[in-house]
Amino acid sequence: MPVSLNHLKPITSKLASIATILLSLSTLLICTEPQSQENNLTIGIADLVVNKVFGNSLSSRIENGQNILANQRIRTGRDSATSISLKDDSIIKIGEIADVYMDNIVFDRTGSSLNGSMEMVTGLLRFTSGKIHRMNLKIQTGNLTIGIRGTQFDLLANRSKTEIKVTQGQVQVSKGGLKTLVSEGQIYLADENTSSGLRKKISKELKQAILKLESLTGNKLISKNDINNREEEKKISSNNQNLLKIYTTKGLITIRMLPSLAERHVTRIKELVTQKFYDNLIFHSVRKGFAVETGDPTGTGSGGSGKKLLAEISKTPFERGTVAMKRNRNNPNSGDSQFFITLRRAPHLDGKYTIWGKVIGGMGLLEEFQAGNPPINPERIINIKIAD
């Protein structure tokens, strides 16, 4: 007797429906994937990270040289700060104990137009416009909206108070439907506990926050010449012949060599790297909060390659991550093979040592080196390569 399968038709129909739904969902996921990538477009780079700087979570630390994405959160700890270079060379500096959302910041394909918004929850933010042609950027604080169209200013905010000092250009602030234009040299205060409006001088809190930011990042307000110099730096960093990759027992440290500052020194460093002179040398001196030193084949701080270099002193300040040639204290023309990397702003070194490079990756690793002269268990250079 034939077996009837009619009772299975409803089940088959349901399975077909489920399959259709699953196919639709998979198609939807595929179609939405590019949108996710679009939301994560790179808008800039963290070219300076001091101490504890976090991304979207406290387990996600931002490192020197890391890309910054649209819709990314940035938080800093105490005695911490970061400097972010946007695609148009605008610079955002964020001071200690800050919380910022890079909401919906979008550059057009040519990089000539910037639109979007940021949310400043708390802390100090310093903004310096780059060379972009069209900017429509807003910053939202707890009680104020700030419109930016090419300017330079310092902004201190918490949930009930916002203070802004304009150094160049103008910004438009909006509070409760009332709009005010704040021009160069003016200060505006929006406080829930007092009347809001223009002020004659900055508060003690803003002044202290600015001094703290400058002590951490090493730079005062950036001039137009500084912005133009960044174009030259981009050309240097895009040339792999001036990128030095130092493979250490702690990890990779990347240095951008600066022949425009010290051509002879960069040429000599390249010669020593080609000769594998630095391979297996220790970091013979590590002083926390100041500098690490290497390049001595004896490991004592008194050795070298035997070839001295004439000094190439520049006006470039010693910032965090500056790479310079060590020399004898009483002889500026005694640089050899030893070099040091500063871990923090070191103004007492300005104009005294030859600067030939800048760390653009791996500063966090240097912070973890064991202190000592020499350390009990020193970190070591495995090898150095000029990037391909």
Domains delineated in the chain:
42-223 (2.60.120.1440), 239-386 (2.40.100.10)
What value does the mean pLDDT of the chain take?
81
- pLDDT tens digits along 224-244: 444 444 444 444 444 568 899
pLDDT at 151: 80
- Predicted confidence (pLDDT) at residue 129 exceeds the cutoff of 70: yes
Residue count of the chain: 388
- pLDDT tens digits along 345-385: 898 999 999 999 999 888 888 988 999 999 999 999 999 99
- pLDDT tens digits along 242-280: 899 999 998 889 999 999 999 999 999 999 999 999 999
In this prediction, what percent of the chain has a pLDDT beyond 90? 45
Cα–Cα nearest to 326, from 292, 275, 281: 292
Radius of gyration of the chain (CA): 27
Cβ atoms of 94 and 84 within 8 Å: the answer is yes
- pLDDT tens digits along 329-344: 889 999 999 999 999 8
- Predicted confidence (pLDDT) at residue 219 exceeds the cutoff of 60: no
CA dist., res. 330 & res. 328, Å (int): 6
pLDDT at 265: 96
- pLDDT tens digits along 276-319: 999 999 999 999 989 999 999 999 999 999 999 999 999 899 99
State residue 41 phi and psi, 5-degree precision: -65, 140
